[in-house]
A and B are shown apart, each in its own frame.
Chain A
């Protein structure tokens, strides 16, 4: 699985958009980008994933660059409850046949400020 690089921490004002970057320069053609977050003392929570097209759901948007070497997770209107560690994970999609394990790095601690 490809390695990802994320900033250690970021701040965001409540109500503003939070843009969390992730570099994955060694990503392979069959690898997807997944985002999970972990609120303090809870298990990780799935947010969104994508292959090469931009994706949006009720929680967030995922923007993947055309060369797929980096991506940005966007929380459009951050709230205090979005304070968490955000993990960017790259791995083969489940239909690739591999065990759908997740390889977590240390993630980005997003602190939403009032």
Chain B
């Protein structure tokens, strides 16, 4: 148990819809990163938030967007869902200058 929680656990959406995934970071952690993990692959970095500002982004289109709130919790929003967006979405939190990242259990998104 890392103290990082994500909701919902599972989600089924239809192509073209929009989805919001939520993450509560571990107490005291001001940095949140989001990763996408397709079946059989390693996690891929989407973006990171530090003190409510985006602090780095991976190779994902603009329809992937995020927010970080003053309590350091975070949301990942995906617009115009595509079938290839089906994946496990992982959130990780850490203090800004920490070497370790602490991952939540993930949200399994299925797009039909």
Q: Does A94 sit at the interface, judged by CB under 8 A? A: yes
CA of A67 to CA of B13, assembled, Å? 49
With known contacts A43-B2, A43-B92, A94-B97, A101–B48 Cβ distance under 8 A: yes
**Cβ contacts under 8 Å, A49 to chain B:** 99
A-side interface residues, number (CB < 8 Å): 24
Are B4 and A105 in contact (CB-based, < 8 A)?
no
CA of A42 to CA of B45, assembled, Å? 17
Q: Does A30 sit at the interface, judged by CB under 8 A? A: no
Shortest Cβ distance from residue B98 to the other chain A in the assembled complex, whole angstroms = 7
Closest chain A residue, CB of each to CB of B31? A100
**Cβ contacts under 8 Å, B90 to chain A:** 43-44
Q: Does B33 sit at the interface, judged by CB under 8 A? A: yes
* Residue from B45, B101, B103 in contact with A103 in the complex, judged by beta carbons closer than 8 Å: B45
Within 8 A of B (CB), among A90-114: 93-95, 98-107
B-side interface residues, number (CB < 8 Å): 29
Are A87 and B99 in contact (CB-based, < 8 A)?
no
Binary interface encoding of chain B residues 45-82 relative to chain A, with 1 for a CB under 8 A from any of its CBs, else 0: 10010000001101000000000000000000000000
**Cβ contacts under 8 Å, A42 to chain B:** 103, 105-106
Are B33 and A101 in contact (CB-based, < 8 A)?
yes
* Residue from B42, B96, B97 in contact with A104 in the complex, judged by beta carbons closer than 8 Å: B42
List 8 extra interface pairs beyond A43-B103, A44-B90, A94-B97, CB under 8 A.
A43-B92, A43-B106, A44-B43, A45-B103, A46-B100, A98-B56, A99-B55, A102-B43
